[in-house]
Amino acid sequence: MNERVAIIGIGVTGFTSVSPALSFKELTYSAAVKAYAEAGLHPREIDSFVTASEDFMEGYSIFDEYVPDQMGAVMRPVHTVTADFLQAFGIGCMMINTGMFRTIAVQAHSKASNVKTLNDVKSFALDPVYLRTLKENAEFIAGLEMRRFIDESGNTEEQCARVVVKNRKSALLNPQAAHGADLTVDDVLSSRPISTPLKHLDAAAPCDGSIMVVLAAEKEAKALCKNPVWVKGFAWFSGQGNVWCRNMAEADYARLASQKACRMAGITNLSKEIDFVEVCDEYSYKELQHLEALGIARKGEAGFLTETGETSIQGALPVNASGGSLGMGHAFEASGGMKVNEAVTQLRHQAGARQVKNARTGLVQSWRGIPTATGSVAILSNG
């Protein structure tokens, strides 16, 4: 990047399993107030605003028309990215690098508890000719993918279950996590089958919440913030959208995004140069699949690292110390923001009982979910 970019303010409301007392606008407003207060800026001093949202999840189209009020962005430059927060975050960094903007606010939210037919909404993303006509939901695809990943990588169902046990236990240490629990491997393996081998506890439950981040160019970041978190690299890729045309055992989008983000950050050995990782674990097997795609584990090794405690908070490379989506909840378009929030908390050494020792650099990764092959990576640092 020509211009260094830093996070100078962050605000989060949630994440909770339900939020009956707050509308999506109130969730967003609450997060925005916190972010602007931390950045020391009034919304009128923000140069532009980016939101990540998906019309399907909101229940009406042209959703971007409904976002300015609660962000303080009426009559200001606003645009919506139909993607995960982490892609909107990357766009904000690129906007600053054009030289036309010095400060950008990036926002996303989840109000999944408002969606009464969540499986139907997710199924509507499937191909209307070849998949939707099968009358199956998105978890059917996830079950197929999990089977292919296990068969080809050599990781096991038990190792996937250990991901659930690890992440939901870590979530007990996170006051922002909605689904912390003390489970056993047997609890996971004996839970209700969804699409074999995928089981009920292998899948993250939905959650509500909102996040806003204020980005700034280097000069403004140093002037406004005592503990900026610097963006070292970011990238996102989309693979083959048609699930019948791609290798379901691998996450190519994560591999490519990791390689590009690492080049930007000047990182040549992830295992040695990264202190913690927050990756998408919407389903248990995705954490293992993503760790191998990112280059943190070799093929077939991620399950072993989980089994031996290497990816626990006390391990050599903590993964999803926040609890991940399995422990915090699946926040849909806000999922990447949830992971950025944990990275900022860790890099500021404010994570309390789940603090990763000597955290200096972290990698965050997101995936847009079934049936997509789109994912993002960002590398953040406190120095």
* pLDDT tens-digit readout, 190-221: 999 999 999 999 999 999 999 999 999 999 99
The mean pLDDT value for 311-332 works out to: 97
Phi, psi of 96 (to 5 degrees): -65, -35
The SS3 assignment for 366 reads strand
The SS3 assignment for 357 reads coil
The SS3 assignment for 28 reads helix
Q: Average pLDDT of the chain?
A: 95
For position 62, what pLDDT does the model report? 85
How far is the C-alpha of 79 from the C-alpha of 52, rounded, in Å? 9
The mean pLDDT value for 79-93 works out to: 95
How far is the C-alpha of 258 from the C-alpha of 264, rounded, in Å? 10
Phi, psi of 40 (to 5 degrees): 70, 30
How far is the C-alpha of 73 from the C-alpha of 78, rounded, in Å? 7
The mean pLDDT value for 283-300 works out to: 97
The structure tokens 């081998």 sit at 197
How far is the C-alpha of 376 from the C-alpha of 84, rounded, in Å? 8
For position 366, what pLDDT does the model report? 98
* pTM score of the predicted model: 0.96
- Residue 144 CB neighbour total at 10 angstroms: 17
For position 242, what pLDDT does the model report? 86
The mean pLDDT value for 71-92 works out to: 95
pLDDT reading at 138 higher than 90 = no
Cα angle vertex 280, ends 309, 291, to 5°?
50
Task: State pLDDT tens for residues 8-20.
Answer: 999 999 899 999 9
Give the confidence band of 46 by pLDDT, cuts at 50, 70, 90. very high
pLDDT reading at 58 higher than 90 = no
pLDDT reading at 61 higher than 90 = no
For position 119, what pLDDT does the model report? 87
Least confident of 57-66, 99-108, 337-346, 359-368: 57-66
Least confident of 147-151, 242-246, 296-300, 340-344: 242-246
The mean pLDDT value for 251-261 works out to: 97
User: Which H or E run contains 118?
Assistant: helix 118-123
Cα angle vertex 113, ends 108, 114, to 5°?
85
Strand blocks (E) in the chain: 5-16, 48-52, 78-81, 103-111, 193-195, 198-199, 208-217, 229-238, 276-278, 361-367, 374-381
Q: What percent of the chain has pLDDT over 90?
A: 86
Give the confidence band of 145 by pLDDT, cuts at 50, 70, 90. very high
Residues 6 or more apart from 197 whose CB is under 8 A from it? 143, 146, 147, 150, 157, 160
Q: Which residue has the higher pLDDT, 243 or 27?
A: 27
How far is the C-alpha of 72 from the C-alpha of 256, rounded, in Å? 36
For position 262, what pLDDT does the model report? 97
